[in-house]
A and B are shown apart, each in its own frame.
Chain A
Amino acid sequence: MYKYVIRRLLLAVPVLLLSSLIVFGLMRVMPGDALTALMAESGNVGERELKKLRKDLGLDKPYYEQYLLWVWQMVSFNPGDSIFTNEPIPVSLKKAIPVTVELAALAMILGLVIAIPIGVLSATRQDTPPDYAGRVVAVSGLSLPDFWLGTLVITFAAIWFRWIPPIGYVSFWESPWRNLQQFLLPAAVLGFRLSAATMRMTRSTVLEVLREDYVRTAWAKGLGGRIVVYKHALKNALIPVVTIVGGQLGVLLAGTVVVETIFALPGMGRLTVEAILYRDYPVVQTNVMLVAATLVTLNLIVDLTYAWLDPRIRYS
């Protein structure tokens, strides 16, 4: 097991290195730089002055030098400062990460809370009205994009209830109630989409497992319905569900960009998009690497979860 984990971690190194090259290259291919974004509109800054400022920021150095410097900063856990705001990147991340983590975690929880019971209900009541309703919900979740749903939710909340989640983020520790008010709707929007695929997968795998011989044996032994479904069938049905959930983490992080914008939450998504628009190279590069590292780690955790769910799976 340990060997497996170490091997996976070693494999992560080339993945991260490749990611770093791609994000570094893409940012340099995009026209303009942070100074263009910051000053050009005024039309008051001469080319000589811009050259001086570029030199001050190290933007005049050869690309390989900029890349190596950045890689060194990353491995020494000092990603530097934002070109735009001068704020140290760890400080920006410290503010943004909790927002995105809270949003993603709540969305995941809500998604699973919606998906698994409905998926099981759909499977156990196959081709009955509850099943049809569950399938409609699942297909809606797959079809409705986050941005559309988010806009509708916030608009109609304002029209019908004269209420929207309070704008102006406050952390959970400052005010738990206000924080939850701010996060529940966006998490529900994000979670709804996430729940759709999980719901469908839960339904189909539970249906499959319910037809297995050992489940028939359990019924034959006279066990109660709940015990058969939840103790015998569900655990085995969850392995593909876990795969789906693991695969959706990337989708979840991408979804936070849109949902954070609509609900005015200052998370990683907004930080990264703004940094891309303003060509804030160090911020974009660090954020992308962080997301890449997170996805690599989460995928590893998902793989390890298989072993817990299915005792037959061994990694050694």
Chain B
Amino acid sequence: MSASRRDFLKRTGWGAMGLTAAAVAGRTPATWAATAPYPEWIPASTKPPKRGGVLTRASQWDPPLIDPRLTQSVGLFQFAGLVSSRLIRYSFPEEVSGPSDLSLKPDLAESWQSSPDSRVWTFKLRQGVKWQNVPPLNGREFVAADVKYCFEQYAKEGVQSFNFREIESMETPDKYTLRVHLNTPNVFFPQSVAESVAVIFSREVLEEDGDLKKRMIGTGPFILKEHNRKVRIVLTRNPDYYDKGRPYVDEYVILSTPDTATRFAAFRAGQSDFVSLATPSEAELLRKTNPNVQVQAYHNTLTPFGVALAQDRPPFNDVRVRRAISMAIDRQKQVDTVYEGHGIIGWGVPYIYYQDKQPTAKDLGPWWQYRPAEAKKLLAEAGHPNGFTTTLFYYEYFPQMTSQVQLVQSDLKKNLNIDVKITKLDYTTYYGRYVEGKWDGLSWGFQSGHAVGLDERTYQYMHSKSTKNFFKVNDPQIDELTTKLRQTPDRAEQAKITKKIVDREFDQVLRMWMPYDNGFLMVQPYMRNGSPLAIRRTDAYGSPTIARVWLDK
């Protein structure tokens, strides 16, 4: 009862806001894309940063637990990267010229280099780094053995074991050097340890408590002062943080606010300093009441969602069927209606790894164009002139997803006479069924949102032997290319191989990506340096960005 009420609330709330915005502005939502006045990038402030203040955010996410070995929940990683550091990190907004710069920077490791075959990686650690001055660590020095212990624990059990089990062995020649031997060459290993989820936790807490569910102590810019589930998370400035002078704010408070309308209201009332929005009409509505806020029109480099087909069995093991379905879906209509023109048509590998400009439907090849007549012809050639009946199950991550699912259903019925029976599931049922992989028909598939690295987006999600191959990709060429990619150190060569992988994926319609919102970040007028990067959002897995935010009050 309550779930359906909440669902209805979400839908009516968002729908009403969209309609109201359109009505108030007197134009159709689709025209927003052309007129959106918001910049894609807000450069870092040139003013000298001010110290102090409390940064507050009403957040929809509430971490189920705080053990980074047991969950990759965005609820945890909206702050874990602020309490704990990683060996290497991605750049902060003030260090880049634009949102697509994904260069790596030193965090706990000052430098890193590989052996010529990319199998042995040596990390030189920053000296003088202290654990937070909280018992039982009490500010002791951070050393290489800490990283070795942490990586060993990640490999032993939990959600990150797949990544860390590629480590064959580790050695610590001295206090500040860690040498990692991999099972197979991987040029992207530094990217893997730079992911937001690869935080370094402390040996003492794990050994004393037996798990990491109660305490989180790290070497990061903030100390976890309070974690009161369903109420708030309070982080206070770590005075011993190695990057002297940072962070700028005294406290960062995350308020658990599950309802969308309440988060918007909190932002309006000044109880929240920043908020993420999906559509232009939402942005416009909030700007009407809060005209001085800063808005960044975000541009996604990939979509996490698409139609996954049971391509290990008929009829979807026939590439003609996959191509026909792909051509029968009007993606642009989804972008124009569901995302009011501010969305991407959908691709799974971040384009910034193989080209400069955002791909158009044309770039994605013939099967990504909306060509219903040809789709019907191709389906007939595949032996289904009268269509067929199939199923599609999904979990509604956000209200727009249900509209998209229904549009796909309608397109397939209208253009191919394929009857799609939709089942909407709750989170746990969906994951149980989807990840297990023993399903027929279609699913609204996903790839998890935390990863930035190319290896994660190619080898780990597409190689037939990977446990993250949820889309059931089983293509020898993809296997060969993704393996080759992780053995190729040259950037230009990487881009060429990545393009081949992407071309192959689109040609064979191995994953049928669907449109996704570009979104907006709206921040209060006094918040500085909160601009999100290409795949890193300030408020979620990209939370370390908060370490550089300051309040101009």
**Residues of A that sit less than 8 Å from B by CB:** 30-33, 36-46, 49, 84-86, 145, 147-148, 151, 154-155, 157-159, 162-164, 166-169, 254, 257-258, 261-264, 266, 269-271, 273-274, 277-279
Q: Tell me the residues in window 294-316 of chain B with beta carbons closer than 8 Å to chain A beta carbons.
A: none
Are A258 and B261 CB-contacts (below 8 A) given A31-B428, A43-B468?
no
Any A CB within 8 A of the CB of B213: yes
* A36, B159: Cα distance in complex, Å: 12
A85 in contact with B289 (CB, 8 Å): no
The contact of B435 among A40, A269, A270, by CB within 8 Å, is A40
* A169, B6: Cα distance in complex, Å: 21
Residue of B nearest to A257 (CB): B2
The contact of A254 among B2, B257, B266, by CB within 8 Å, is B2
A154 in contact with B265 (CB, 8 Å): yes
Are A264 and B258 CB-contacts (below 8 A) given A84-B64, A167-B271?
yes
Contact string, B1-33, partner A, CB cutoff 8 A, digits 1/0?
111011011001100000000000000000000
Residue of B nearest to A52 (CB): B157
A45 in contact with B6 (CB, 8 Å): no
* A31, B435: Cα distance in complex, Å: 13
Are A261 and B259 CB-contacts (below 8 A) given A31-B433, A148-B9, A154-B265?
yes
Are A157 and B265 CB-contacts (below 8 A) given A31-B428, A42-B448, A85-B229?
yes
Residue of B nearest to A271 (CB): B230
The contact of A162 among B71, B231, B270, by CB within 8 Å, is B270
Any A CB within 8 A of the CB of B268: yes
A162 in contact with B448 (CB, 8 Å): no
B262 to chain A, nearest CB (A): 6
A151 in contact with B9 (CB, 8 Å): yes
B72 to chain A, nearest CB (A): 5
* Residues on B with beta carbons closer than 8 Å to the beta carbon of A39: 70-71, 158-159
The contact of B259 among A37, A169, A264, by CB within 8 Å, is A264
Any A CB within 8 A of the CB of B256: yes
Are A270 and B262 CB-contacts (below 8 A) given A31-B433, A41-B448, A45-B161?
no
The contact of A151 among B214, B261, B467, by CB within 8 Å, is B261
Which 10 residue pairs spanning A and B have beta carbons closest together? A32-B432, A42-B159, A158-B265, A266-B230, A43-B468, A32-B428, A158-B268, A44-B162, A40-B431, A37-B428
A277 to chain B, nearest CB (A): 6
B264 in contact with A155 (CB, 8 Å): yes
Contact string, B243-286, partner A, CB cutoff 8 A, digits 1/0?
00000000001011111011011101111100000000000000
Q: Tell me the residues in window 209-241 of chain B with beta carbons closer than 8 Å to chain A beta carbons.
A: 211, 213-214, 228-232
A258 in contact with B6 (CB, 8 Å): yes
* Residues on B with beta carbons closer than 8 Å to the beta carbon of A271: 230
* A43, B448: Cα distance in complex, Å: 9
A258 in contact with B5 (CB, 8 Å): yes
Are A32 and B429 CB-contacts (below 8 A) given A49-B157, A86-B213?
yes
Any A CB within 8 A of the CB of B516: no
A-B contact pairs, 10 of them (CB 8 A): A31-B429, A36-B431, A44-B160, A46-B467, A155-B261, A164-B265, A257-B2, A266-B229, A271-B230, A279-B428
* Residues on B with beta carbons closer than 8 Å to the beta carbon of A42: 71-72, 159-160, 448, 468
Residue of A nearest to B447 (CB): A43
Are A163 and B269 CB-contacts (below 8 A) given A154-B262, A262-B262, A277-B426?
yes
**Residues of B that sit less than 8 Å from A by CB:** 1-3, 5-6, 8-9, 12-13, 58, 62, 64-65, 70-73, 157-163, 211, 213-214, 228-232, 253, 255-259, 261-262, 264-266, 268-272, 289, 426-429, 431-435, 448, 467-468, 470
Report how many A-B pairs have Cβ atoms within 8 Å: 170
* Residues on B with beta carbons closer than 8 Å to the beta carbon of A36: 428, 431-432, 435
* Residues on B with beta carbons closer than 8 Å to the beta carbon of A45: 158-159, 161, 467
* Residues on B with beta carbons closer than 8 Å to the beta carbon of A49: 157, 161
* Residues on B with beta carbons closer than 8 Å to the beta carbon of A166: 271
A15 to chain B, nearest CB (A): 21
Chain B CB count within 10 A is highest, among A36, A43, A45, A279, for A43
* A79, B510: Cα distance in complex, Å: 48
Chain A CB count within 10 A is highest, among B2, B73, B468, for B2
* A163, B289: Cα distance in complex, Å: 13
Residue of A nearest to B436 (CB): A40
B92 to chain A, nearest CB (A): 26
* A266, B256: Cα distance in complex, Å: 9
* A49, B58: Cα distance in complex, Å: 36
Are A167 and B58 CB-contacts (below 8 A) given A43-B435, A44-B162?
yes
Chain B CB count within 10 A is highest, among A44, A84, A166, for A44
A41 in contact with B271 (CB, 8 Å): no
Residue of B nearest to A46 (CB): B467
B432 to chain A, nearest CB (A): 3
A164 in contact with B262 (CB, 8 Å): yes
* Residues on A with beta carbons closer than 8 Å to the beta carbon of B211: 86
* Residues on B with beta carbons closer than 8 Å to the beta carbon of A262: 9, 259, 261-262
Are A269 and B431 CB-contacts (below 8 A) given A39-B71, A159-B289, A264-B262?
no
Residue of B nearest to A163 (CB): B269
* Residues on B with beta carbons closer than 8 Å to the beta carbon of A148: 9, 12
B468 in contact with A277 (CB, 8 Å): no
* Residues on A with beta carbons closer than 8 Å to the beta carbon of B72: 41-42
A264 in contact with B270 (CB, 8 Å): no
* Residues on A with beta carbons closer than 8 Å to the beta carbon of B228: 266
Known: A42-B159, A148-B9. 12 other contacts (CB 8 A): A38-B64, A39-B71, A44-B163, A147-B6, A155-B261, A158-B265, A158-B268, A162-B268, A257-B5, A258-B6, A262-B261, A270-B258
* Residues on A with beta carbons closer than 8 Å to the beta carbon of B268: 158-159, 162, 164
* A274, B262: Cα distance in complex, Å: 18
A265 to chain B, nearest CB (A): 8
* A30, B426: Cα distance in complex, Å: 10
Are A44 and B2 CB-contacts (below 8 A) given A32-B429, A86-B65, A261-B259?
no
Residue of A nearest to B429 (CB): A31
B2 in contact with A278 (CB, 8 Å): no
Are A40 and B432 CB-contacts (below 8 A) given A45-B158, A154-B261, A270-B258?
yes
* Residues on A with beta carbons closer than 8 Å to the beta carbon of B426: 277
* Residues on B with beta carbons closer than 8 Å to the beta carbon of A270: 230, 258
